[in-house]
Amino acid sequence: MSAQLLDGKAISSQIRAEIAEEAAALTAQTGVTATLAAILVGDDPASQIYVRNKQRDCERSNMKSVLHRLPADTPEAALLELIARLNGDPTIHGILVQLPLPQGISEERILDSVSPEKDVDCFHPTNVGLLSQGRPRFLPCTPHGVLQILHRCGIETAGKHAVVVGRSEIVGKPMTQLLVQRSSPLGPGMANATVTCCHSRTPDLAAITRQADVLIVAIGKADFITGDMVKPGAAVIDVGMNRVDGRLTGDVDFASVVEVAGHLTPVPGGVGPLTIAMLLRNTLAAAQQQTPCSKPA
Ligand code: NDP
């Protein structure tokens, strides 16, 4: 058996086209252009590329982006001051602080200072709380991307056993939260899973992953999940992005898992392209929420 590959690139293009159309409609109706402020502190090369890509994609989607570049030795107080200014600026709808921040700056204090209404990464405790109560203001970008792939490929989670490997604040925990809810903005079929969340202290991980109808892996260890850890016919979503000898590879051992799974996301070209698309979706949603006479879709 060979798994059907889930094409994240194609799904991301489709979603971006939908967003571009809605963003243009917002501007036509209200004169407001959805705008993202990106803050980049220091000169980490990977962060520079991520921010550049996010800005480029904003502009391709009929939105604006404004970059604030600060030197690595910026004091935390200056960063807090900038965020306070952006929080109060009505022309800015979303604020993104590119992580990681240089040593000496508290990520927690910085992320907590972003206004929840402009927190398009969905990291603020208020937004995390709303998500856990099943009334999200924004959906967290990467987990939302995973749900979009499943949804648009006709794979429902309702009534299934979903196993999430990884419990980070960015991927594993919010993914678990989304799957366990009674309803989802994508429809009831995209929630209502029975969810098991595993981590590095989980004994006999393979015994649990082998029970998964939907297996979502986000651990940051190249080729960790092998075919013998997967239930035949399962949908396997590989969130991992690891650099091995200059090559991008996932957390799932593609060669063995593709023989067992029913569906599988490749790396690259799976979940990765969806994360930025979902950031654009949240920026547009923020602009719609902050613009009184707009008509959100
Ligand atoms: P973190 O390092 O924050 O978290 C990793 C998680 O994996 C932890 O919960 C850890 O457990 C768990 N883990 C580590 N080793 C094992 C193991 N042997 N068995 C079971 N669980 C284990 O990573 P992130 O969640 O931020 O990222 C995970 C991967 O996803 C990375 O490769 C990252 O690059 C990628 N990523 C991809 C994105 C995309 O757009 N495609 C976006 C974000 C991340 P514990 O808590 O016990 O330490």
Residue 134, helix vs strand vs coil: coil
Once rounded to an integer, what is the mean pLDDT over residues 181-207?
97
* Topology classification of domain 140-272: Rossmann fold (3.40.50)
User: CA nearest 107: which of 41, 46, 171?
Assistant: 41
Q: Where are the domains of the chain?
A: 32-115, 140-272
Query: Are domains 32-115 and 140-272 of this chain identical in fold?
Result: yes
Q: How far apart are CA 242 and CA 232, in angstroms?
A: 25
Q: How far apart are CA 96 and CA 118, in angstroms?
A: 9
Per-residue confidence (pLDDT) for residue 292, from 0 to 100: 82
Which element (helix H / strand E) includes 131? helix 125-132
CA distances for 47 relative to 78, 97, 100, angstroms: 20, 10, 8
Once rounded to an integer, what is the mean pLDDT over residues 167-182?
97
**Residues 38-89: pLDDT tens digits?**
999 999 999 999 999 999 999 999 999 999 999 999 999 999 999 999 999 9
Annotated binding-site residue? 256: no
Residue 269 · residue 4 · CB < 8 Å: no
Q: Where are the alpha helices (DSSP H) in 191-271?
A: 205-209, 254-257
Q: Is 118 a catalytic residue?
A: no
Q: Label residue 276 by pLDDT band (50, 70, 90).
A: very high
Best of 177, 199, 225 to mutate for ligand 1, by most ligand atoms within 8 A of CB? 199
Q: How far apart are CA 268 and CA 35, in angstroms?
A: 28
Q: Which two tokens stand for residue 38?
A: 């990106």
Once rounded to an integer, what is the mean pLDDT over residues 150-173?
98
Query: Does ligand 1 come within 6 angstroms of the Cβ of 94?
Result: no
Which residue's CA lies nearest to atom 34 of ligand 1? 241
**Residues 141-158: pLDDT tens digits?**
999 999 999 999 999 999
Per-residue confidence (pLDDT) for residue 283, from 0 to 100: 98
- For the entire predicted model, the pTM comes to 0.97
Domain 32-115, architecture per CATH: 3-Layer(aba) Sandwich (3.40)
- 297 pLDDT higher than 60: no
- Single-letter amino acid, residue 182: R
Q: Label residue 189 by pLDDT band (50, 70, 90).
A: very high
